[in-house]
Amino acid sequence: MTDSVIARSYLFVPASRPERFAKAHAAGADQVILDLEDAVSEADKGSARNHLADYLSSGGHGMVRINSTQTPWFEYDLSVCRRPGVKGVVLPKAESAEQVERVVRQLPRGVGILPLIETAVGMTNLSQIASAPGVERLIFGTVDFRTEMGIEGDDQELLFFRSMLVLASRAAGIAAPVDGVTVSISDADELRRASERGRRLGFGGKLCIHPSQVAEVNKAYRPSDSQLAWAERVVEHAKANPGAFQLDGEMVDAPVIARAANLLKQANRLVA
């Protein structure tokens, strides 16, 4: 993935399993998240951090999910994230702009933060978190959020909250948020429905917990060939027709042109 393309798929790999790092990178995900948090038991936190440090020292790269600011492992995790090769930091249980700022202060310049919104407090403070300096985009931690809220179901039950993340991201001027995981690894239909739902709601990507999920997520979050063909025609016509114009019997004005340009940007095909 080039830096100019917004990531669609984020694949978790436990930092305690270094033998899986290469496989994760080969799965086709736009970003790999080396996980020090939920995928690692308390007994393995230290060894997982050491594995990650060794991997980065040998030229490895990826994003890192650290443990939350409320845990005893937080500062140790951040010390590893100052090494070259760290492409971004996922902050779990993000509940305030102050927590984000605490992380940013200890990272090299240019390393973005992706706050995981997975608590009621985090959802309440969504706008402040999204607007905090250093935030690249928000992630919806649907599983933990549902657990805390006592919500059963991952569809209409979370519609309001998903829309809140999309709205806060747009208002803060950051990239579209990343949707949570689909826990059923073997149900391809469920993954497809969840991915298409997220895209329709305004999400820009999705978390993956297994390499087999990556291709479907990438497909769902990539504009279709017909959408890209339409977008290219709109942008080309706009060059010769300042203001509003008609195309295929439909009125095209500034918001439509902006949508067309955004579709091309998602596919790294923006017409100059």
pLDDT, tens digit (0-9, with 9 covering 90-100), for 19-73: 999 999 999 999 999 999 999 999 999 999 999 999 999 999 999 999 999 999 9
Is the domain of 161 the same as that of 245? Answer: no
Is the domain of 216 the same as that of 240? Answer: no
Distance between CA atoms of 238 and 257, rounded to whole angstroms? 7
Domain count, the chain: 2
Instruction: Tell me the pLDDT tens digit for each residue of 84-94.
Output: 999 999 999 99
pLDDT band at 238 (very low <50, low <70, confident <90, very high): confident
What SS3 state is found at 41?
A: coil
Q: Determine the pLDDT at residue 195.
A: 97
Is the domain of 179 the same as that of 94? Answer: yes
Is the domain of 136 the same as that of 245? Answer: no
Here the CATH number for the domain that contains residue 118 is 3.20.20.60
Answer yes or no: is 126 within a domain. yes
Answer yes or no: is 4 within a domain. no
- Which of 205, 220, 235 is where one domain is finished? 220
Element (H, E) at 205: strand 205-208
Domain that holds residue 255: 225-266
Is the domain of 90 the same as that of 194? Answer: yes
C-alpha 109: how far from chain center: 20
Distance between CA atoms of 34 and 12, rounded to whole angstroms? 6
Is the domain of 216 the same as that of 249? Answer: no
Is the domain of 49 the same as that of 100? Answer: yes
Is the domain of 135 the same as that of 253? Answer: no
Answer yes or no: is 2 within a domain. no
Answer yes or no: is 272 within a domain. no
Is the domain of 117 the same as that of 237? Answer: no
Is the domain of 182 the same as that of 231? Answer: no
Answer yes or no: is 28 within a domain. yes
Give Cβ neighbours of residue 206 (< 8 Å, ≥ 6 apart).
8, 9, 10, 178, 179, 180, 181, 182, 194, 195, 198, 217, 220, 221
Query: Locate tokens 């402040």: which residue?
Result: 128
pLDDT band at 224 (very low <50, low <70, confident <90, very high): confident
Annotate 58-78 with DSSP letters as a single string.
TT--EEEE---TTSTTHHHHH
Is the domain of 150 the same as that of 194? Answer: yes
Neighbours of 89 (CB within 10 A): 25
Q: Kindly report the pTM of this predicted structure.
A: 0.87
Answer yes or no: is 3 within a domain. no
Distance between CA atoms of 100 and 236, rounded to whole angstroms? 41
Q: Determine the pLDDT at residue 5.
A: 61
- The helix-helix angle for 188-201 and 159-172 (nearest 10°) equals 50
Is the domain of 141 the same as that of 242? Answer: no
- The percentage of the chain sitting over the pLDDT mark of 90, rounded to a whole number, equals 79
Instruction: Tell me the pLDDT tens digit for each residue of 159-192.
Output: 999 999 999 999 999 999 999 999 999 999 999 9
